[in-house]
Amino acid sequence: MNPTLQTHHYLLKFSIKPSVQRTAVMEYLMNNRTHPTIDEIYLALNPTMPTLSKTTVYNTLDLFVEKGAVQALVIDDKNARYDVDISSHAHFICNSCGKVHDIFNVSPTLFQLPVSDKFTIQSVEISYSGICNSCKGN
């Protein structure tokens, strides 16, 4: 089965109709697990898909998030970032270079949702920040 067909399947699992654009965005997310911004996705796909509009990238990612196929991250106050890995894991952002990395070695209990009588808590995001090793030398 070729990658595009696999991606079609994956989208259908989330009740997302696979268009050419949606498949391209999902494939990009699967192959580039760097928590890309809208702009990064758009600029990466544009060369091979010159008619693609940024509006479509926005629409597509909103849809993916709504259907639960990707996670929208708030860790970066400059831009929205997207993560195709929807499993429970934390993120780290470097205050110097701005890159976002996964943090997997944290206790799963971190992701347990607290019970509250004031709110219905549905999700949690754990965001660490600091300096990454590449930036530390500079």
Closest distance of CB 30 from DNA, Å: 17
Residue 101 CA to residue 91 CA, distance in Å, equals 6
Q: Is 15 in the site for DNA (CB under 7 A)?
A: no
Closest distance of CB 112 from DNA, Å: 29
Nearer to a second copy (CB atom), residue 51 or residue 105: 105
Task: Give the DSSP letter of residue 37.
Answer: B
The binder of 129, among a second copy, DNA, none, by C-beta within 5 to 8 A per type, is a second copy
For 44-60, letters b (16+ CB in 10 Å) and e give: bbeeeeeebeeebbeeb
Closest distance of CB 87 from DNA, Å: 23
Q: Is 62 in the site for DNA (CB under 7 A)?
A: yes
Q: Is 40 in the site for a second copy (CB under 8 A)?
A: no
Q: Are 134 and 97 in contact (CB under 8 A)?
A: yes
Phi, psi of 100 (to 5 degrees): -110, 130
Q: Is 39 in the site for DNA (CB under 7 A)?
A: yes
